[in-house]
Amino acid sequence: MKFKVPIFSVKNLSFIVRGQKILSNISLEIFNSEYVAIIGPNGGGKTTLIRMLLGLEEPTSGEIKLYGKNIKDFKFWDKIGYVPQRASHVDASFPATVQDIVNMGRTSKRGFFSRMNEKDKEAVHDSMVKMGVLHLKDKMVGTLSGGQRQRVMIARALASKPEILILDEPNTGVDILSQKNFYALLAKLNKEERITIVFITHDIGVIADDIGRLFTVNQKAIICNNPKEALSCEEMSELYGIEAHLIHNHKHEH
Ligand SMILES: Nc1ncnc2c1ncn2[C@@H]1O[C@H](COP(=O)(O)OP(=O)(O)OP(=O)(O)O)[C@@H](O)[C@H]1O
Ligand SMILES: [Mg+2]
């Protein structure tokens, strides 16, 4: 049997700022082709945890490994597509077209100063098609609606053909129909292209059927291996004050 190395492996991670505990003793693993959602209250530490997994913030203590390698020795960052929280908030006068923004997704693959080759162009085109923004390619990104801009940011992340896609609350302010299409798209990327997805969201009810595991982060992390088991998640959520019963309600809507 082949031993499965987790993509992310976190052990006893803590983050303390000026005496305030932000994250406390977090241990978790995320495996290839998983679809994991992270929920938790505002200020619970979700974004901080993700930033640590990406080496953007250093933990006070604990260990982070990527593909079995200590994060300090990890070099294959273009395997990971990351759409930060509020990534799509750009000024109306921001001087870049949609195409320019999505092109940036190829920068790390080809080096900043080299020209886009056919493969780059194809990847950019494909990811714009996938995210339904191809028709917007010549528009200035600052003139788009919030939802359209979010799609562009995700297209940029997909352009690098990542193995892992990390999305930090990409749906704020997006209409319900667009959200539904977006969730269907994520599920498809996960199922058909085997892209590992880590999705921070408050919208857990809607994606409960798609996700494999659910992590609740509120200083500590609780891992729910079967998010459809409403009871266990409800217990978990009571403990942490999260409305995970939404999962339960959602299932009863049908
Ligand atoms: N470098 C830092 N210095 C000081 N405080 C920090 C730092 N990083 C995070 N924090 C604090 O840690 C807490 C957790 O923040 P974080 O952004 O991770 O929460 P979150 O779960 O993503 O919240 P939200 O749902 O609102 O996005 C906040 O109180 C924040 O102010
Ligand atoms: Mg956050």
Ligand 1 atom closest to Cα of 169? 27
pLDDT band at 194, cuts 50/70/90?
very high
- Where does the pLDDT of residue 37 fall: very low under 50, low under 70, confident under 90, or very high at 90 and above? very high
pLDDT given for residue 240 in this prediction: 61
pLDDT tens readout for residues 106-147: 886 666 567 888 999 999 999 999 999 999 999 999 899 888
* 40 touches ligand 1 (CB under 6 Å): yes
Q: Name the more confident of 206 and 134.
A: 134
Distance, CA 120 to ligand 2 centroid (Å)? 31
Is there an atom of ligand 1 within 6 Å of 44 CB? yes
Position 253 scores a pLDDT of 43
Please list, residue by residue across 189-202, b when 16 or more beta carbons sit within 10 angstroms of its beta carbon and e when fewer do: bbeeeebbbbbbbb
Low-confidence winner among 28-42, 85-99, 152-166 (lowest mean pLDDT): 85-99
Q: Is 184:132 a contact under the CB 8 Å cutoff?
A: no
Question: If you average pLDDT over residues 3-31, what whole number do you get?
Answer: 93
Which residues have a Cβ under 8 Å from the Cβ of 122 and sit 6 or more positions away? none
Domain segments of the chain as ranges: 8-252
Rounded (5°) CA angle 149-154-155: 95
The continuous run of DSSP H or E covering 66 comes out as strand 61-66
Over residues 75-79, the mean pLDDT reads: 90
Which CATH number describes the domain made up of 8-252? 3.40.50.300
Average pLDDT of every residue of the chain: 85
Q: From the CA of 51, give the closest atom in ligand 1.
A: 18
Tokens of 79: 């395997």
Expressed in angstroms and rounded, the spacing between residue 92 Cα and the centre of ligand 2 is 24
CA 239 to ligand 1 center in whole angstroms = 20
Residue 65 has pLDDT above 80, yes or no: yes
How confident is the model over 77-105, as a mean pLDDT?
A: 85
Atom of ligand 1 nearest to the CA of 18: 4
Q: How many residues does the chain have?
A: 254
List the structure tokens of 7: 């993509």
Apex 33 CA angle, 29 and 34, nearest 5: 50
Cβ(205) – ligand 1 distance below 6 Å: no
Q: Is residue 250 pLDDT above 70, yes or no?
A: no
By percentage, how much of the chain surpasses pLDDT 70? 83
Could you tell which of 14, 42, 47, 199 is best to mutate to test the pocket of ligand 1, judged by most ligand atoms within 8 Å of the CB? 47
Ligand 1 atom nearest to CA at 20:
5
Nearest CA to ligand 1 atom 24: 42
* pLDDT (0 to 100) of residue 231: 52
User: Quick one: CA torsion of 219, 31, 67, 160, rounded to 10 degrees?
Assistant: -100
